[in-house]
Structure 1
Amino acid sequence: MQGLHLTADLRGCPPALAVLHEPEALRALCLGAVAAAGLQAVGELFHRFPAPGGVTGVVLLAESHLAVHTWPELGGVTLDVYVCNLHGDNSTRAEGLLAALEQAFGASSAERHRVRRGGPGAA
């Protein structure tokens, strides 16, 4: 049950970016970043909200999950990456996934948090 939970609150993202308001663009970004990080997607759901049209996307991973929430009207994004480390340490993969997503959103600032989960000896 040991794992690593990473979050980032991004501000100053260019509001015209398609990934902020188009579910298919966000889906392509997320699935590409998951694969590039060496993680395995096993399910997904992306939903666009009414005006101003933010998107929430979730990718279920064999290793746990990725969740993304966008607020184009605020130029904001929240990222949530959790990986379990039951059969091996996936921490580097999680960090790579978060970094790739942060870069893609082009934020002017980011507040990051890192939580080791699962008790003593957690990854």
Structure 2
Amino acid sequence: MQGLHLTADLSGCRRGSPALVDVSALRALCLGAVLDAGLQPVGECFHPFPSEDGEPRGVTGVLLLAESHLAVHTWPELDAVTLDVYACHRHADNSARAEVVIARLIEAFAPARAERHALRRGAAT
């Protein structure tokens, strides 16, 4: 199976972004990015992490895709986010779609710094 696996570690993200702390906002952002890129969500899990005083602490969100997955983890107390997008190429090369997803998420979080990595997975057939 071939695919493109993209990751990004974002720091200095725009403070106050609802997607850093709100499950609904992060879910809407992720679904929008995936659907706009032409990928197909088939399942999801979004989980908030409240602090001891009940204030939002961060969110982890995962979208299962027909093409593979998107995972996002937020740390609002650090103004940080990690992104993980994997799109396999079973029926078509989905590399451009994966790039659209990660670019849209990076733009939305507006980080001061973004460390990106790309890994081409699987052997050519």
TM-score relative to the length of structure 1:
0.95
Q: How big is the shift at 1:117?
A: 0.6
Give the unaligned 5+ runs of structure 1. Answer: none
**Structure 1 CA distance, aligned partners of 2:101 and 2:25?**
17
Identity of aligned residues (%): 66
Q: Which position in structure 2 is the counterpart of 1:65?
A: 69
**AA paired with 1:101?**
L
Give unpaired runs (5+ residues) of structure 2: none
Give 4+ residue runs of structure 1 displaced > 2 Å after superposition. none
Aligned residues: 121
Equivalent residue, structure 1, for 2:40: 40
Aligned to 1:83: 87
Deviation digits for residues 28-63 of structure 1 (CA, Å, limit 9, x no counterpart): 000011000010011111000121510000000000
**Scaled by the length of structure 2, what TM-score is found?**
0.94
Is 1:12 the counterpart of 2:16 in the alignment?
no
Residue aligning to 1:22: 22
SS of the residue corresponding to residue 39 of structure 2 reads: coil
CA RMSD of aligned residues (A): 1.0
1:97 paired to 2:101: yes
CA contact (8 A) 1:15 1:73 kept: no
Partner SS state of residue 102, structure 2: helix
